[in-house]
Structure 1
Amino acid sequence: MLVAPVTDPVLLSGWAAEVKSAGWRALLSLDAERLVLRSRQGTDLAPSFPEVRSGAAQLPDATALDGVT
């Protein structure tokens, strides 16, 4: 989940990149209807983002997402 600066912006074949933006970087996992939303440091973010919790109800079981909120 850490960004890494590079001197050459050319990507290797099979790699992808995204622009680093300000906000909350989080990992979401949903397994057996148990939602975990945490920061890189392991802080539980679910109480701070109820809209993510309600949206996660639409995801299939055994889902993992990495993103910026």
Structure 2
Amino acid sequence: MSWTLPEPMLAAPVNSSALAPGWAAEAKWDGFRCMLARYADDRVLLRSRRGTDMTHAFPEIARAALALPGDTVVDGVM
């Protein structure tokens, strides 16, 4: 199977601070937003929202990602 990381979802500005029913929000604290991909062949990729490879900067996270099932993608803030 061949696949690539999806494009990250980015926040969009709104005119009101009120949230629509069923929506939640959180503040962005210090940290890095990145997408983690654990491929079935044991490769791991950490990519910034702009596409920069960040894997080398977080070797401990890359090692820990090997515990995830193959072909897993996680989007979050570190």
Letter in 1 for 2:43: R
Query: How do residues 22-37 of structure 1 correspond to structure 2 at under 5 angstroms?
Result: 22-32=30-40, 33-37=42-46
* Structure with greater strand share of residues: 1
TM-score normalised according to structure 1 size: 0.77
| Alignment match, 2:65 | 56
Unaligned runs of 5+ in 2: 1-8
Alignment match of 1:19 (pick from 7, 22, 27):
27
Q: 1:39 to 1:66 in 2, by over 3 A?
A: same
Question: RMSD of the TM alignment (CA)?
Answer: 1.9
| Alignment match, 1:3 | 11
Alignment match of 2:51 (pick from 20, 42, 48):
42
* CA distance, structure 1, for counterparts of residue 18 and residue 68 of structure 2: 34
* CA distance, structure 1, for counterparts of residue 54 and residue 72 of structure 2: 17
8 Å contact kept, 2:45–2:62: no
Percent identity over paired residues: 49
TM-score normalised according to structure 2 size: 0.70
Letter in 1 for 2:45: V
